[in-house]
Every structure is written in C-alpha cells, then in structure tokens.
C-alpha cells in the first residue's frame, strides 16, 4: 500500500475564499469566514485524513500591504507557511479581474520551485463566459501544475482539486501521518472560541471596528454541565467601546447571542458567555499586546 502525507498551503488575496475552501475540504469549521478583508490573522491548519492519505492544509491571512505590526505578523505567517509546504494552492477570486500583482506572485512561487495549483473560486455565482477568460489568462503563466475552477460553497470540483494535490504529495510505503487520525485542526478550543466571537463581530460592526478588535479569554471553565466562558473584548478607542456595547447594551447582547450559539455547536454543550469591553490604545502596534492576544508565535 502507498501512503501520502504532506502540507498544502492556501494563499491568495483577501476574500479569495481560502478559509471557506479549507472548511469545505475538511468538512469542519476550522477557519472563520466573512465578506471583509483580513478576517484570517493566523495560519490555521485543517487536517484531512483518509484511509491512505493525510493532507494538512494551511489557511493563511490574505496577501496585502502592511500598515501596522499586526499586518506584518500576518504576512510573516504567509511566508512561513510557504517555507514548509509540498504544494501551494493559489486562489484567484473568479468574480474579480485577475490583477498583475497576482500573476507576479504566482510567477514568484514557481521561481521558488514550488508546485503551484491555481484554483479559480466562486464559480457557482459566475457564468461560463466570465470563467473562460480567467482560465485563458492563467493558462499563459508557464509552470503552473493545474488550473481548476471550483466552488467551495456548492462543493464543485473539490474532488478534482484534491486529486490534483495528491499527485504532488510525497508517497511512502509506511503510514507516517503527521497528526492523529481524528484531529482536524492544530488550534485549541479556546482559540476557536475567540475566533467565533471575532467572526460575529466582523458581521455585526462596520468599518474599522472589527479590524481593531482582539479577544482575550480570561476564563474557560468546562467542569460543569454548562461551560462558563469570560472574554475581554479589546478595542483601540473609547468611541469604539461605546459602539461595540451599543445603546443600552443592545449590540454586545446580540454579539453574545450569535457567538454563544456557534460555541455551543462547537462544544456540544450549553454555554454561559460573559463579555467585557476594554480599551487598549494602538494594541496592533505593541509587541507585548500582540503576543498577549495570540499574534506572536516566534515567526521570523
């Protein structure tokens, strides 16, 4: 029997659909998703184990220009993921025009001798006339292994993508899987809980507010029938704090309700969720704050 095991890095611009794809491929919600850029801040592993293969997908923050220390941390995550992978899947948003800098980025990956598969995403909301020119344009890039139109939401062509990936994953006659077969992510339950709250905040608040939020889980008590969780919501300004709380506490109540339902799904238990809003000016530029809120894992 032949076994395959390796790392696959998902990269591409913000909103291309990386996190939605990793969730679709693993069948689990490992990464939060929103229509806003910079939803994903850390590298997140999604592990797909089958009889004879284990593919470890790495979801990365979208490629973007850096404005603060948190942005720089996010771009370090992308570089570090690329360093250790067997295959790169570069996601192109099928609903947008292909940009020159994306072609350049793909060419750079190929120049680094990485195996690059390009996935054109969101084809469920595109007609054939729109997809074809993108495929033709991508086809002109020399050295791309495969170009595959996909829809993560409708599950279209995900099997084709998986087969294409497996072609480039190292094989062995022994089953040397990296992770236990029942594990689907490297992230802790606490991390996933904080991410669920951040996802709900991305939908609930507009403009800069959700981008300036960090979550600090100060209590996580799983010993009772009900899991008790206390979370500090860190924001950058007093004005943001009052928006987060809302008139008479209405907004934060809604945030808590939305998040609690998903956290209960994740834990399979009832949850009591308490949230407090704290102001930490300019935390996105302070190394101490960044590591306190989970955005520092010794990346170079």
Ligand X SMILES: Nc1nc2c(ncn2[C@@H]2O[C@H](COP(=O)(O)OP(=O)(O)O)[C@@H](O)[C@H]2O)c(=O)[nH]1
C-alpha–C-alpha distance, residues 61 and 56, integer Å:
16
Nearer to ligand X, 39 or 77 (CB): 39
Taking the CA atoms of the chain, what radius of gyration do you get in angstroms? 20
Select from Mg ion, ligand X, none the partner in contact with residue 46, using the beta carbon and a kind-dependent cut-off of 5 to 8 Å.
Answer: none
CB of 221 to ligand X, least distance (A): 31
C-alpha–C-alpha distance, residues 31 and 62, integer Å:
13
CB 285 within 8 A of CB 69: yes
DSSP letter assigned to residue 99: P
Nearer to Mg ion, 63 or 189 (CB): 63
Please name every residue paired with 231 in a beta bridge, in sequence order, or none if there are none.
217, 275
Nearer to ligand X, 31 or 273 (CB): 31
Give the CA count within 13 Å in the CB-facing half-sphere of 23: 15
Nearer to ligand X, 149 or 256 (CB): 149
Footprint of ligand X on this chain (CB under 6 A)?
A: 12, 14-20, 33-35, 39-40, 62, 121-122, 124-125, 151-153
Direct distance between the N- and C-terminal alpha carbons of the chain, in angstroms, rounded to an integer: 39
CB of 29 to ligand X, least distance (A): 11
* Two tokens, residue 160: 């084709």
CB of 199 to ligand X, least distance (A): 9
Counting every residue written for the chain, the total comes to 300
CB of 62 to ligand X, least distance (A): 5
Residues of this chain, 5-34, that bind Mg ion according to CB under 5 A = 18-19
Q: Candidates 35-43, 137-145, 148-156, 204-212 — which segment interacts with Mg ion by CB under 5 A?
A: 35-43
C-alpha–C-alpha distance, residues 95 and 34, integer Å:
16
CB of 37 to Mg ion, least distance (A): 9
Q: Is 77 in the site for Mg ion (CB under 5 A)?
A: no
C-alpha dist (Å) from residue 5 to 26, 148, 183 = 15, 22, 14
DSSP letter assigned to residue 177: -
Q: Is 40 in the site for Mg ion (CB under 5 A)?
A: yes
Nearer to ligand X, 45 or 229 (CB): 45
Site residues for Mg ion per CB under 5 A: 18-19, 39-40
């Amino acid at each position: 029997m032949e076994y395959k095991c390796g790392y696959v890095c998902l990269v591409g611009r913000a909103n291309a659909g990386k996190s939605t794809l990793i969730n679709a491929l693993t069948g689990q919600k490992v990464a939060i998703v929103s229509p806003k850029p910079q939803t994903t801040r850390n590298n997140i592993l999604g592990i797909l184990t089958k009889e004879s293969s284990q593919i470890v997908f790495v979801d990365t923050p979208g490629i973007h220009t850096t404005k603060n220390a948190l942005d720089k941390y996010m771009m370090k995550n992308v570089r570090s993921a690329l360093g250790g992978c067997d295959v790169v899947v570069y996601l192109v948003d099928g609903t947008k025009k292909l940009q020159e800098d994306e072609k350049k980025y793909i060419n750079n990956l190929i120049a680094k001798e990485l195996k690059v598969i390009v996935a054109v995403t969101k084809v469920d909301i595109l007609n054939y006339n729109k997809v074809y020119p993108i495929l033709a344009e991508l086809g002109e890039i020399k050295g791309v292994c495969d170009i595959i139109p996909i829809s993560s939401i409708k599950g279209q062509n995900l099997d084709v993508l998986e087969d294409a990936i497996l072609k480039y994953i190292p094989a062995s006659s022994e089953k040397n899987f990296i992770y236990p077969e029942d594990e689907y992510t490297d992230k802790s339950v606490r991390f996933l809980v904080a991410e669920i709250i951040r996802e709900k905040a991305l939908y609930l608040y507009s403009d800069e507010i959700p981008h300036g939020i960090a979550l600090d889980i100060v209590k996580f008590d799983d010993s009772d029938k009900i899991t008790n969780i206390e979370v500090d919501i860190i924001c950058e300004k007093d004005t943001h704090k009052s928006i987060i709380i809302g008139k008479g506490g209405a907004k934060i109540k809604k945030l808590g309700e939305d998040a609690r339902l998903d956290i209960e799904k994740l834990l399979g238990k009832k949850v009591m969720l308490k949230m407090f809003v704290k102001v930490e000016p300019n935390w996105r530029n302070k190394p101490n704050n960044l590591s306190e809120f989970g955005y520092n894992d010794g990346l170079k």
